[in-house]
Structure 1
Amino acid sequence: MATEQKNGIIYGLNDRPPFVESVFAALQHLFAIFVAIMTPPLIIASQMQLDIETTSFLVSMALFASGVSTFIQCRKFGAVGTGLLCIQGTSYSFIGPIIAAGMGGGLAVVFGSCMAASVVEVFVGSILRYARKIITPLVSGIVVTLIGLCLIKVGISSCGGGNAAMANGTFGALHNLGLAALVLATIVFFNSCKNRYLRMSSIVIGLAVGYVLSWALGYIDFDSVKSFGGVYVPVPFKYGLDFDLSAFISLSIIFIITAIEAYGDITANSMISGEPVEGDLFMKRASGGVVANGVSSFISAALNSFPNSIFAQNNGMIQLTGVASRYVGYFISAFLIILSVFPAVSLVFSLMPEPVLGGATLLMFGTVAASGIKVIASQKLGRKEILVLAISLAGGLSVEFMPEILSGFPETLRSIFSSGITTGGLLAIFSNLLIRIKE
């Protein structure tokens, strides 16, 4: 009989829960991350106007890569991995730069640039003690805020019907906006419930409501899919590899920021799991976790998937279930890999109408921006911090709102600074380092 340990933990880090309890705990984690893992490839594919088969394959590979990445984090291989119950999933932070890279050079540029930039996070992980002094919470908060704000235009585009609706003249039609509003309202309603299970399931429920209604109204064409049978087999480098400097710079900045975010997630995970949050053991785990973020993203690019990062929401699941055993992560990895090989799973999600996806992602991206604002607000904002904040947000949002301002720049510089996240991120880093206020 398991006994409750400190912090309400029933099974500690190195305990091995019985098989049934391990499966039950793993399924709860899976329920919390399943849709979140598949949403980024769906958004990217819709913006790049990829066909249903390619979209489905990308969704499946996102599940597969997340399974592999989660195993690396939980199992720990030398200096790679935390050895904690850390769940990896496809990161939302990279969506903007990936779409920009994909529109310019296709999937080959996306995966090649992601693979090259992932090395930056591996490097940051290896010097984590010092990187935290440069990438401060203020800088991280600014970049996270910009990620959310810059992605809102992607969400609202989906709400209106996306590129297909723009092409056939139905963009912004009432049925598109109504469907998106229903999904958003459903998510808000269930997220406001006292029942914690309904709250955690709010996004899944909202998407399910929108999906079923879309099917009932005839917006989903299952006949467009040739077959729901068979299996998907990972094919490394299926879409080739290419490189783009501007994409590399944009992605590198976000890899630096996600490294610091991962440090925070690992700290929370350790605390909830009853493990130390300071000292050599903790720093080794934190460094290994950040390095694993980069290594996993490198592997993901090779497997035709997008960058992976630690999912913060699973820390709450550890507290809820009382199970902090890293061995549960092996079950989660197995479930993700098994689900990835069945085309039917990804094909069903790939048919999701854009307004349904938009209703959910609009709220998600707004939440990302709000999270960044929360980080900024938690800092002491003196004259220097206000200047850094003003310069970064003004510069980042300027190129998003008015990209023509860069028309006089050489092509290389124009492509680098056309991303508000890149421009704002670089301004945040350098202004924070260079501005000195004399009292």
Structure 2
Amino acid sequence: MADTSIGTPAQLRDPNYTPPLHKAVPLGIQHVLAMFVSNVTPAIIVCGAAGFGFGSNSPDFPQMIYMIQMSMFFAGIATLFQTIGIGPVGARLPIVQGTSFAFIPIMIPLVAGKGVDAIAVLMGGILVGGLFHACLGLFIGRLRFALPPLVTGLVVTMIGLALVKVGIQYAAGGVPAIGTPEYGSLLNWSMALVVILVTLGLKFFTRGMLSISAVLVGLLAGYAFAFALGEVNLGNVGRAAPFALPNPLHFGLEFSVAAIIGFCLMSFVSAVETVGDVSGITKGGAGREATDKEIQGATYADGIGTAISGLFGALPNTSFSQNVGLIAMTGVMSRTVVTIGAIFLIVCGLLPKIGAIISSVPIEVLGGGVIVMFGMVVAAGVSMLSDVVWNRRNMVIFAISLSLGLGLQLEPGALQHLPATAKVLATSGILPAALIAIVLNLVLPAQLSDEATEEVSGGMSGHAKGALVKDGQA
């Protein structure tokens, strides 16, 4: 329900309207709180996969603090591209940008156990992938036919399924603890469970901003619980600098074929996600369809924001869907409000002590939040799949794509004889699943014969409630 004390209904639907400052600032901070945890979590996951030490004495620990800082700083910069715009870049709509989960299944195999030196490979892929993403703005509208809900729902579901293992490992004590007596202990799980239980309670029994920020509040509760148990080390906060600027080529640049192909392919999926978010904002906030100029500008901003992030040591950016829902909830379409939130993110990114505080969150506490977040990613994919007409053709496409994609991700040794580049791309899970689904959806006929599909589906023709839709029926 829109707050009419902020402005008239016509003003609230206008992206160029600026609410009174005492109303605009809290609304802008709301947008930051809604995306904050999701924005910094990928940096922690990638650093953990690379083998950065989570202890305060680890020589790599400052590098993780820097990446967390840049996640905040460049999320703010990319958001300004969207809200303010530069020439053709930017939709000039209240779009919040942040670090993308979608690229994590691509990034983990590229850096797994290779230390800080492997981050340069990511930055090279992010730079090229971002520029490719920006180029997609020239014709993104004409490519949407290749990504119906069957494909996009499968991709989103695969992203979540590929990452739920990370949440369980973190909740049990983190990857370095695997095989030790402490791994999976009641102490570790208790910290994660506090986060999960508080998050669930807020999601189901509260409304408004408290419900939207449930994961953040859950993490704060888990952090307080861990602090009471003596599991929080704040040593790095005191040692962190009070102020620091972004450092160009902080991790260096290295161009790998696997990284470039992986980031470019995932950019295609991310671009379509952004188109959906732009459409959601204009429909939910202004009651109209997005214009071609807005969709094109948003895609340019996505790509340029990602490319610049790669030059300074941050991860790929994309539009954040949870903020689309926040606009629908508040009824405030003002891009000035989101600009204020972007400035707040930029300021946070310039203060290493904030990054040090975030990095002091015990891995088990973060695991509780990650379990919830990635589970919600899977749920979002399933929700998208509910729009699919489940005839036998679509069942075959989904079954083969999911089986091969998830199977290769779970058993990477099955492709040990492939060249290194092909192995990294194939064992990510999400790329083979997406490519197989896209190709099959384009080449398979609209109907499959009953004999062929009856065998594949195990004879489940379905005659009761919830039965499969027969070919040719909506």
Same fold (TM over 0.5): yes
How much has 1:381 moved relative to structure 2? 2.1
How much has 1:3 moved relative to structure 2? 4.2
How much has 1:412 moved relative to structure 2? 3.1
Could you report, residue by residue, the CA deviation over 1:187-236 in whole angstroms, capped at 9, with x for unpaired residues?
Answer: 11111113323212211111011111111212122235561442121011
Q: Compare CA radii of gyration and give the structure with the larger one.
A: 2
Rounded Cα–Cα distance in structure 2 between residues aligned with 1:324 and 1:57: 33
Q: Specify the SS of the correspondent of 1:89.
A: strand
My pick for the range that moved more, 44-53 or 175-184, is 44-53
Q: 1:223 to 1:321 in 2, by over 3 A?
A: same
Rounded Cα–Cα distance in structure 2 between residues aligned with 1:322 and 1:152: 33
Counterpart of 1:344, as a letter, is K
Q: 1:338 to 1:383 in 2, by over 3 A?
A: same
Which residue of the partner structure matches residue 457 of structure 2? none
Q: Specify the SS of the correspondent of 2:318.
A: strand
Equivalent in 9, 32, 36 of residue 34 of structure 2? 32
Rounded Cα–Cα distance in structure 2 between residues aligned with 1:389 and 1:322: 37
Could you report, residue by residue, the CA deviation over 1:309-352 in whole angstroms, capped at 9, with x for unpaired residues?
Answer: 11111122223333211122321221111111111111011011
Counterpart of 1:356, as a letter, is V
Rounded Cα–Cα distance in structure 2 between residues aligned with 1:365 and 1:438: 34
Contact 2:13/2:286 (<8 A) preserved: no
Could you report, residue by residue, the CA deviation over 1:271-322 in whole angstroms, capped at 9, with x for unpaired residues?
Answer: 12215305xxx11101211221111111111121001111111122223333
Rounded Cα–Cα distance in structure 2 between residues aligned with 1:368 and 1:325: 27
Which residue of the partner structure matches residue 107 of structure 1? 119
Rounded Cα–Cα distance in structure 1 between residues aligned with 2:51 and 2:422: 26
Which residue of the partner structure matches residue 464 of structure 2? none
Identity percentage of aligned residues: 30
Contact 2:124/2:254 (<8 A) preserved: yes
How much has 1:148 moved relative to structure 2? 0.5
Contact 2:105/2:429 (<8 A) preserved: no
Which residue of the partner structure matches residue 397 of structure 1? 406
Which residue of the partner structure matches residue 284 of structure 2? 272
Q: Specify the SS of the correspondent of 2:98.
A: strand
Which residue of the partner structure matches residue 426 of structure 1? 435
Which residue of the partner structure matches residue 472 of structure 2? none
Which residue of the partner structure matches residue 171 of structure 1? 183
Rounded Cα–Cα distance in structure 2 between residues aligned with 1:139 and 1:428: 6
Q: 1:275 to 1:72 in 2, by over 3 A?
A: farther
RMSD of the TM alignment (CA)? Answer: 1.9
Which residue of the partner structure matches residue 55 of structure 2? none
Equivalent in 158, 161, 183 of residue 195 of structure 2? 183
2:5 counterpart of 1:5: no
Rounded Cα–Cα distance in structure 2 between residues aligned with 1:275 and 1:294: 27
Q: Specify the SS of the correspondent of 1:273.
A: helix
Say which structure, 1 or 2, has more relative contact order (CA 8 Å, 6+ apart).
1
Which residue of the partner structure matches residue 330 of structure 2? 321
Counterpart of 2:71, as a letter, is A
Counterpart of 2:360, as a letter, is L
Rounded Cα–Cα distance in structure 2 between residues aligned with 1:261 and 1:362: 22
Rounded Cα–Cα distance in structure 2 between residues aligned with 1:337 and 1:95: 23
How much has 1:4 moved relative to structure 2? 2.6
How much has 1:248 moved relative to structure 2? 2.4
Q: Specify the SS of the correspondent of 2:418.
A: coil
2:169 counterpart of 1:157: yes
Could you report, residue by residue, the CA deviation over 1:83-126 in whole angstroms, capped at 9, with x for unpaired residues?
Answer: 10111111111112112212256110011111112233223221
Contact 2:258/2:421 (<8 A) preserved: yes
Rounded Cα–Cα distance in structure 2 between residues aligned with 1:338 and 1:265: 26
Equivalent in 326, 336, 339 of residue 330 of structure 1? 339
Q: Specify the SS of the correspondent of 2:178.
A: helix
Q: Which runs of 5+ in 2 are unaligned?
A: 53-59, 450-474
Which residue of the partner structure matches residue 311 of structure 1? 320
My pick for the range that moved more, 78-87 or 405-414, is 405-414
Contact 1:395/1:423 (<8 A) preserved: yes
Which residue of the partner structure matches residue 236 of structure 1? 248
Q: 1:418 to 1:3 in 2, by over 3 A?
A: closer
TM-score norm. by structure 1 comes to 0.94
Q: Specify the SS of the correspondent of 1:39.
A: helix
Rounded Cα–Cα distance in structure 2 between residues aligned with 1:35 and 1:410: 36
How much has 1:438 moved relative to structure 2? 5.1
Matching of residues 20-419 of structure 1 within 5 Å: 20-50=22-52, 51-103=60-112, 104=114, 106-166=118-178, 168-224=180-236, 227-274=239-286, 276-277=288-289, 282-419=291-428
What is the number of residues matched between the two proteins? 434
Q: Specify the SS of the correspondent of 1:238.
A: coil
Rounded Cα–Cα distance in structure 2 between residues aligned with 1:244 and 1:221: 37
Q: Specify the SS of the correspondent of 1:79.
A: coil
2:21 counterpart of 1:19: yes
Rounded Cα–Cα distance in structure 1 between residues aligned with 2:236 and 2:365: 19
Counterpart of 1:330, as a letter, is T
Q: Specify the SS of the correspondent of 1:192.
A: helix
Q: Specify the SS of the correspondent of 2:101.
A: coil
Counterpart of 1:260, as a letter, is V
How much has 1:19 moved relative to structure 2? 2.2
Contact 1:250/1:419 (<8 A) preserved: no
Q: Which runs of 5+ in 1 are unaligned?
A: none
Rounded Cα–Cα distance in structure 2 between residues aligned with 1:41 and 1:205: 20
Could you report, residue by residue, the CA deviation over 1:132-182 in whole angstroms, capped at 9, with x for unpaired residues?
Answer: 011222111111111100101111111111123227542112211222122
